[in-house]
Chains A and B, each alone.
Chain A
Amino acid sequence: MSAAATTHDHAHDHAHDDHAHGHHQQNFVWKYIFSTDHKTIGMQYGLTGLIFLLFGFFLMLLMRWSIAYPGVPVPAIETIRALPAIGDLFEAMFGRWLNADGSLNGELYNMLGAMHGTIMVFFGIVPLGFAAFGNFVMPLQIGTIDMAFPRLNMMSYWFFFISCVLMMYSFFVGTGPVQTGWTMYSPLASTANIGVTSVWNHGHTWWLTAMVFNISASLLGSVNFIATIINLRTKGMTWMKMPFFCWAMFVTAFLLLLAFPPLEVAAILQLSDRVFGSSFYLPTGLMEGGKHLDISGGGSPLLYQHLFWFLAHPEVYVLILPAFAILTDIIPCNARRPLWGYKSMVYSVLTLGFLSFLVWAHHMYLTGMGTMMSTYFQITTVLISVPSVILLTCMMISLWGGSIRFNTQMLFASAFLPMFGIGGLTGLPLAFAFIDLALHDTYYVIGHFHYVVAPGTIFALFAGVYHWFPKITGRFMNDKLGKWHFWPSLVGMNLVFAPMFIQGMAGFHRRWYDGGKYFENTSGFTNWSTTLTHKIGAFFGFDIPDNMLSLNIVMSIGAFILALGQVPFIINFWFSIKGGKKTTSDNPWDATTMEWATPTPPPHGNFLFDPVAHRGPYEYSVPGHGTDFYPQWESEPGKPETNPAADKVLAHH
């Protein structure tokens, strides 16, 4: 019998105890709402993040409609408006901005675009990838009972929650939400609607206050992560025995810790421009509507961009590192092979973290900051792709010679590799100032980063959900539905994002609400991709015109397929909580890292014995070992771990 089975028995005892002692603390509110337990907080972050991902996706669908069919009423708009409750909500948030015939206009499109970016990055991916997975898995993997500062951890979530409320509130205020992109460039952002009504009627004010809370939440979280990893690793869990997952989270936490404060500065200064009328980002002589603004001027829009990108470049690694973290658990586990090049990956991720602070101005080549600066940032940007490539390559090599289990999470994980590859490779040309001058602010850039974050990070996040679901709920997610989730997602993602490269190189600007229709005379030309589109359309009986604009239709169809693909996931997710197939072991994937040594679900305090890390985290298919995995916590092959955790047992009995 394996150790896992033994611990499972403990789990039952334990559950029993919980019942018996249920009254002496922990009613529902304290257990699930104001909990200080890292797992509960992780789940809170996870659910919030998933909901926001879905919401952000919905914003994007509306945008894609306008791009493909500018000036055409949104389908079923009157039906949506007539829905009880939802109709009113829709009307208050979006409907009031629509044209009279129900089609989108530039104003609404800009709101959707800005909020899509903001929500996906700061309210979807970071909370889910870093805060949720990190919170739930990391303390388990290093074998500790909780985070170093549980109460700060709870505060972090509630700060985040406040920021969610404030951000959502901005949809309902007079001016509506911000319209100036997730990058919120001044002076446009600071002067939009300046002077009218009170500042509290401006979406911008609420965006900024929400961001200040969001940033504070991230700071609390990152302090906690780092302190926990440094000080709470269990016996035997030396730095180089620590799963790469924890390393990636460690570096991510440092990025958040050090890169977010400058964004906080950027937000505070912009808030000051908005609320106190200062001119940090407003140059002298700024006019709007033919009138000099009532400002002193003397500030600099470039200052904003520097402060913003000093955060926002590290931020893109905050988006991708949790994905790497998740994959380095899923790939070895399902390839039944050790992670290839663990050490070089660790050094790469540290290098990457360091370098990511030195490349920010590659987003600013076009600002005229000077060729010296451009050259410097060009060099650092090319340098940083080296560690990125090492990470990707190591994961690919880890597949070599494995006997791969293609369950859902592995499908997502293996799709991640080429998808991230495309995203990364298309970033390289952008690193060169002379190419970027042509491609900046085109759909090419949009294609580049969406390949890294959408079929990249988001696929990894899905993989993570399928992988750890059994640990959290004691039930599997359905594999069939999983595949129904995976394939449409893969097809949809590529249909949406691949044509962007073509359009981008043809000069399509990233913020056209009509997808380029206004420039039909110049943007409506043909090439092989448009002819192909036309022919494929004709094959299915559609008359798609043979020009560049028709790619918009392809992409929007892709988005629609992608949307359909999420339906099985949502069904799968909610139904499996109560109705999924039950796990029979605490370690259903035969994995080696320590989170699988806990009872299912892990109780408050996590482990029923004092875990010790006896070996590295990826001991799969060890020659001479009886099974094809050798968990970190087993002192001898197959020996059940019984040494009870003294203080925990005391506390619970």
Chain B
Amino acid sequence: MDIPYTVHARPDTGLYNAKIGIWLFLASEVMLFGGLFSAYIFLRVGADYPWPVHDLDVTLGFVNTVVLIASSVTVVMAWACLKMRKFGWYRINMAITVLCAAVFMINKTLEYKAKFAHYAVKLTDGTLLTGHLPHGYQIKFDGVTELSLSVPVKKSAVSADPVGYVLPFIEGDAPKFKTEDGQEITLDQATFASLAASAVEKAKAANKGSASIKLVAATPVKFAAKPSEIFGYTDTTITFRDGTTATGKLVDDKMTLEVDGVDARGVAQSEKSLAFDHRYLGEAWQKAFVSNRDHHISKFEKDYPTRDKSKSATLQKEALFFKLHSATPPAEGEAHGEKHGAEAHAPAEHGGGHGEAHHPTVVLEKKDITFFSNFTPKLNTYYAIYFTLTGLHGAHVVVGALVLLYFLVFDDKRLKKDPEHLANRVEVGGLFWHFVDLVWIFLFPLLYLL
């Protein structure tokens, strides 16, 4: 029993099944990416913060564009060669296509990796500092002796799980703990489970909704955790995400940042930005900032006398997003190297090199920080949509390349026996590949250039 029209076209529709299938699938893909592009427009039009423009590395994006277009050509050539039964050339072209996909993905990985290591910190006055965290950022607690845990009798959202949510943040080895009835235990999954079970029994008997457990550490414990790894803290207590609280003393929640950019677009009077406070970058950097700003503004006024300064996103960015290229402020007059275009605008791409100090380091107090994140979807809606779009596109590249690779490597039997069928498959795969290429053609200007 064979399904009709798998290889040859049906006369009245002129199509074989898979071709209809792929066009339909692509239609739904258009709706998928259409939805995402609409979301991009919606978010950009409605953004209540300076939309990041020219933030990405155009060179890398351009290389990827060329690579993808090239692969679209080779996949067509592969198909044509197969149709003409030139199997050798078919194989070569197909291999090049897959290779291009690999190059594309490698570039993408480099781009992503640099962003994960790069941070932006929002200060209370709206200033954004960008830079690297040479030591990471952790909240440190010391002298913790008591943990109080709570286990609801019935399973619910928050239920103590110290092994998963508390122990990982102890600095050094976890000490022994003493339970309320004086028993000395090593806290692990099994002991906690039995502890919790007996506490729950007691709570049930007492008709209470949840059992509370107190553990006293044999020696004082130190905790260190990223703020996102815990639920919250005060000067004396720390609450973990399983509801467990520990009492002790906050020793450090300052953030050490190697600053490579000061973005004062969100500040009413940019030169008064908190970044230039004497505790932080100080006066010398402030001067450099102001001279850079005024330089760009006067240049803009000269070049475009009729245009409205406040409406040029590019000017706003050049004037108010100040890049720091050295550990100490530049001497007067050389503050603004005439760097334009991509390289100057690519703070996100500074990957390694924390070692040599070519950026000033500031130690930010927690009370001055409202929000921070590395360059991930969390940072702002631009990066959120950037990662979603390029991530989904990347997934399409990988899937498409795997399918083409499959045709190349594992479909040899069909190549010998039924090349026409294989040609159909390559055509369908190629159509998909063109679509992937097309999406990128939209993505590149939208995310990198506009």
A197, A292, A296, A307 — which one has the most chain B CB atoms within 10 A of its CB?
A: A296
Sample 9 A-B pairs with CB under 8 A, ordered by A number. Answer: A144-B4, A145-B4, A148-B5, A197-B157, A202-B157, A227-B24, A265-B35, A276-B387, A294-B371
Q: Does A547 contact B (CB under 8 A)?
A: no
Q: Does B189 contact A (CB under 8 A)?
A: no
> A258 and B27: CB pair below 8 A?
yes
Partner of A299, one of B34, B43, B165, B371: B43
Q: Which of A278-286, A504-512, A587-595 faces chain B? A: A278-286
> A196 and B20: CB pair below 8 A?
no
Residues of chain B within 8 A (CB-CB) of A232 are 3-5, 17
Bound-complex Cα distance A144 to B25 (A): 22
Q: Does B378 contact A (CB under 8 A)?
A: yes
Knowing A231-B13, A604-B1, the reply to whether A279 touches B228 (Cβ < 8 A) is: no
- Please list the 7 inter-chain residue pairs (A to B) with the smallest Cβ-Cβ separation, ordered nearest first: A278-B377, A278-B384, A265-B35, A96-B154, A261-B32, A261-B31, A262-B35
Residues of chain A within 8 A (CB-CB) of B384 are 269, 272, 276, 278-280, 299
| A596-641 contacts to B (CB < 8 Å) | 604-605
Q: Does A201 contact B (CB under 8 A)?
A: yes
Interface residues on A, range: 35 or more
> A303 and B42: CB pair below 8 A?
yes
Contact code string A251-272 (vs B, CB < 8 Å = 1, else 0):
0000001111110111011001
Residues of chain B within 8 A (CB-CB) of A604 are 1
Q: Does A146 contact B (CB under 8 A)?
A: yes
Residues of chain A within 8 A (CB-CB) of B27 are 257-258
Q: Does A174 contact B (CB under 8 A)?
A: yes
Q: Does A651 contact B (CB under 8 A)?
A: yes
Q: Does A535 contact B (CB under 8 A)?
A: no
Instruction: For the complex formed, measure the closest distance between the CB of B438 and the CB atoms of chain A, giving whole angstroms.
Output: 16
Bound-complex Cα distance A144 to B3 (A): 9
Bound-complex Cα distance A230 to B16 (A): 10
> A175 and B157: CB pair below 8 A?
yes
Q: Does A295 contact B (CB under 8 A)?
A: yes
Q: Does A81 contact B (CB under 8 A)?
A: no
> B28 and A261: CB pair below 8 A?
yes
Residue of B nearest to A260 (CB): B28
Q: How many residues of B contact A (CB 8 A)?
A: 61
Bound-complex Cα distance A557 to B31 (A): 44
Q: Does A150 contact B (CB under 8 A)?
A: yes
> A197 and B165: CB pair below 8 A?
yes
What is the number of contacts between chain A and chain B, taking CB atoms within 8 Å? 187
Instruction: Name 19 extra pairs, CB < 8 A, besides A265-B35, A303-B39.
Output: A144-B4, A148-B21, A176-B157, A196-B241, A219-B28, A227-B20, A231-B13, A231-B15, A231-B17, A257-B24, A257-B28, A265-B32, A269-B39, A272-B387, A277-B228, A280-B381, A292-B370, A296-B373, A298-B49
Bound-complex Cα distance A547 to B364 (A): 63
Bound-complex Cα distance A97 to B154 (A): 8
Instruction: For the complex formed, measure the closest distance between the CB of B439 and the CB atoms of chain A, giving whole angstroms.
Output: 13
Partner of B155, one of A92, A230, A269, A279: A92
Contact code string B1-23 (vs A, CB < 8 Å = 1, else 0):
11111000010010111101100
Q: Does A647 contact B (CB under 8 A)?
A: yes
A95, A264, A278, A652 — which one has the most chain B CB atoms within 10 A of its CB?
A: A278
| A209-227 contacts to B (CB < 8 Å) | 219, 222-224, 226-227
Residue of B nearest to A606 (CB): B1
Residues of chain A within 8 A (CB-CB) of B48 are 284, 297-298
> A149 and B17: CB pair below 8 A?
yes
Residue of A nearest to B51 (CB): A298
Bound-complex Cα distance A138 to B5 (A): 18
Q: Does B47 contact A (CB under 8 A)?
A: yes
Residue of B nearest to A307 (CB): B35
Instruction: For the complex formed, measure the closest distance between the CB of B8 and the CB atoms of chain A, giving whole angstroms.
Output: 11
Residue of B nearest to A279 (CB): B381
> B2 and A647: CB pair below 8 A?
yes
Contact code string B294-331 (vs A, CB < 8 Å = 1, else 0):
00000000000000000000000000000000000000
Q: Does A648 contact B (CB under 8 A)?
A: yes
Residues of chain A within 8 A (CB-CB) of B392 are 268
Q: Does B234 contact A (CB under 8 A)?
A: no
> B156 and A175: CB pair below 8 A?
yes
Instruction: For the complex formed, measure the closest distance between the CB of A392 and the CB atoms of chain B, giving whole angstroms.
Output: 29
Bound-complex Cα distance A95 to B24 (A): 46
Q: Does A521 contact B (CB under 8 A)?
A: no
> A231 and B381: CB pair below 8 A?
no
Instruction: For the complex formed, measure the closest distance between the CB of A342 and the CB atoms of chain B, giving whole angstroms.
Output: 21
A174, A295, A306 — which one has the most chain B CB atoms within 10 A of its CB?
A: A174
| B329-387 contacts to A (CB < 8 Å) | 370-371, 373, 376-381, 383-385, 387
Q: Does A198 contact B (CB under 8 A)?
A: yes
Q: Does B409 contact A (CB under 8 A)?
A: no
Residue of A nearest to B242 (CB): A197
Residues of chain A within 8 A (CB-CB) of B38 are 306-307
Bound-complex Cα distance A415 to B27 (A): 38
Contact code string A188-202 (vs B, CB < 8 Å = 1, else 0):
000001011110011
Q: Does A340 contact B (CB under 8 A)?
A: no
Residues of chain A within 8 A (CB-CB) of B381 are 278-280, 296, 298-299
> A296 and B371: CB pair below 8 A?
yes
Q: Does B429 contact A (CB under 8 A)?
A: no
Q: Does B65 contact A (CB under 8 A)?
A: no
Residues of chain A within 8 A (CB-CB) of B2 are 647, 651
Residues of chain A within 8 A (CB-CB) of B155 are 92, 96, 174
Residues of chain A within 8 A (CB-CB) of B157 are 174-176, 193, 196-197, 201-202
Contact code string A288-323 (vs B, CB < 8 Å = 1, else 0):
000010111111101100110010000000000000
Q: Does B61 contact A (CB under 8 A)?
A: no
Residues of chain B within 8 A (CB-CB) of A201 are 157
Residues of chain B within 8 A (CB-CB) of A219 are 25, 28
Instruction: For the complex formed, measure the closest distance between the CB of A359 and the CB atoms of chain B, giving whole angstroms.
Output: 17
Partner of A303, one of B15, B29, B43, B156: B43
> A148 and B39: CB pair below 8 A?
no
> A227 and B17: CB pair below 8 A?
yes
Contact code string B36-64 (vs A, CB < 8 Å = 1, else 0):
10110011001111000000000000000
A265, A279, A651 — which one has the most chain B CB atoms within 10 A of its CB?
A: A265
Instruction: For the complex formed, measure the closest distance between the CB of B51 and the CB atoms of chain A, giving whole angstroms.
Output: 9
Residues of chain A within 8 A (CB-CB) of B20 are 148, 226-227, 230-231
Residues of chain A within 8 A (CB-CB) of B387 are 272, 276
Partner of A296, one of B46, B161, B227, B380: B380
> B47 and A298: CB pair below 8 A?
yes
Q: Does B243 contact A (CB under 8 A)?
A: yes
Bound-complex Cα distance A26 to B161 (A): 48
Bound-complex Cα distance A232 to B2 (A): 12
B38, B157, B161, B383 — which one has the most chain A CB atoms within 10 A of its CB?
A: B157
| B226-258 contacts to A (CB < 8 Å) | 227-228, 231, 241-243
Instruction: For the complex formed, measure the closest distance between the CB of A145 and the CB atoms of chain B, giving whole angstroms.
Output: 6
Instruction: For the complex formed, measure the closest distance between the CB of A363 and the CB atoms of chain B, giving whole angstroms.
Output: 17
Q: Does B158 contact A (CB under 8 A)?
A: yes
Bound-complex Cα distance A97 to B4 (A): 55
Residues of chain B within 8 A (CB-CB) of A92 are 155
Bound-complex Cα distance A73 to B123 (A): 52
Q: Does B388 contact A (CB under 8 A)?
A: yes
B17, B27, B227, B370 — which one has the most chain A CB atoms within 10 A of its CB?
A: B17
Instruction: For the complex formed, measure the closest distance between the CB of B59 and the CB atoms of chain A, giving whole angstroms.
Output: 27
B42, B154, B384 — which one has the most chain A CB atoms within 10 A of its CB?
A: B384
Bound-complex Cα distance A296 to B371 (A): 7
Contact code string B136-169 (vs A, CB < 8 Å = 1, else 0):
0000000000000000001111110100110000
Instruction: For the complex formed, measure the closest distance between the CB of B154 and the CB atoms of chain A, giving whole angstroms.
Output: 4
Residue of A nearest to B25 (CB): A223
Residues of chain A within 8 A (CB-CB) of B18 are 149
Residue of A nearest to B154 (CB): A96
> B3 and A264: CB pair below 8 A?
no
> A276 and B378: CB pair below 8 A?
yes
Contact code string A220-254 (vs B, CB < 8 Å = 1, else 0):
00111011001110000000000000000000000
